[in-house]
Chains A and B, each alone.
Chain A
Amino acid sequence: RKEVEQDPGPFNVPEGATVAFNCTYSNSASQSFFWYRQDCRKEPKLLMSVYSSGNEDGRFTAQLNRASQYISLLIRDSKLSDSATYLCVVSRMDSSYKLIFGSGTRLLVRP
Chain B
Amino acid sequence: NAGVTQTPKFQVLKTGQSMTLQCAQDMNHEYMSWYRQDPGMGLRLIHYSVGAGITDQGEVPNGYNVSRSTTEDFPLRLLSAAPSQTSVYFCASRRGGRVGETQYFGPGTRLLVL
A residues contacting B by CB (< 8 A) are 2, 4, 8, 31-32, 41-46, 49, 87, 91, 95-99, 101-104
Provide the bound-state CA to CA distance between A2 and B98, in Å: 24
B residues contacting A by CB (< 8 A) are 33, 35, 40-45, 48, 50, 56, 58, 90, 97-103, 105-108
Which residues of A have CB within 8 Å of B58?
A: 98
28 contacts between A and B (CB under 8 A): A4-B42, A8-B40, A31-B99, A41-B108, A43-B90, A43-B105, A43-B108, A44-B90, A44-B105, A45-B105, A46-B102, A87-B42, A95-B97, A97-B98, A97-B99, A98-B33, A98-B45, A98-B58, A99-B45, A99-B103, A101-B42, A101-B43, A101-B44, A102-B42, A103-B40, A103-B41, A103-B42, A104-B42
CB pair A96 B48 closer than 8 Å: yes
Give the interface SS of chain B, mostly helix, strand, loop or mixed.
Answer: loop
Provide the bound-state CA to CA distance between A91 and B74, in Å: 22
Which residues of B have CB within 8 Å of A46?
A: 102-103
Kindly provide the distance from the CB of A96 to the nearest chain B CB, expressed in whole angstroms: 6
Provide the bound-state CA to CA distance between A103 and B41, in Å: 5
- Of the candidates B35, B41, B99, B107, which one forms a contact with A91 in the assembled complex, judged by CB atoms under 8 Å apart? B99
Kindly provide the distance from the CB of B23 to the nearest chain A CB, expressed in whole angstroms: 12
Provide the bound-state CA to CA distance between A27 and B11, in Å: 36
Chain A: CB-nearest residue to B91: A43
- Which of A2, A4, A42, A96 has the largest number of chain B CB atoms within 10 A? A96
CB pair A96 B42 closer than 8 Å: no
CB pair B97 A32 closer than 8 Å: no
